[in-house]
Amino acid sequence: LEPVMWEALLEIARQRQTNVNQLVTEIDRERVSSSLTAAIRVYIVDFYRAAAIRPDRAAASLQPTLN
């Protein structure tokens, strides 16, 4: 992953009160058919898209779908 993706993943992990390893493990466990790298990128985009659509909700409570 590119550095900006790692930074986003770290930020998401902090907001979810977990660590990057646990977050990646969750993404890996729930992905269906894509590569892990692609699944992580989709997760990051989904997370921030959900936060942008629902600014009234805390980003920490958002759970993007894992496909």
CB under 8 Å to 53, separation ≥6 — which residues? none
Write out the residue range of the structural domain in which residue 43 sits: 3-57
The answer to whether residue 66 is domain-embedded is no
Structural domain total, the chain:
1
Distance, in Å, from the CA atom of 2 to the CA atom of 20, rounded to the nearest integer, reads: 15
Model confidence at 63: pLDDT above 70: no
**In the predicted model, what is the mean pLDDT of residues 9-18?**
95
CA atoms lying within 13 Å on the CB side of residue 4:
2
Distance, in Å, from the CA atom of 12 to the CA atom of 31, rounded to the nearest integer, reads: 18
**In the predicted model, what is the mean pLDDT of residues 36-54?**
93
Model confidence at 56: pLDDT above 70: no
The answer to whether residue 62 is domain-embedded is no
The answer to whether residue 45 is domain-embedded is yes
Q: What is the pLDDT of residue 23?
A: 98
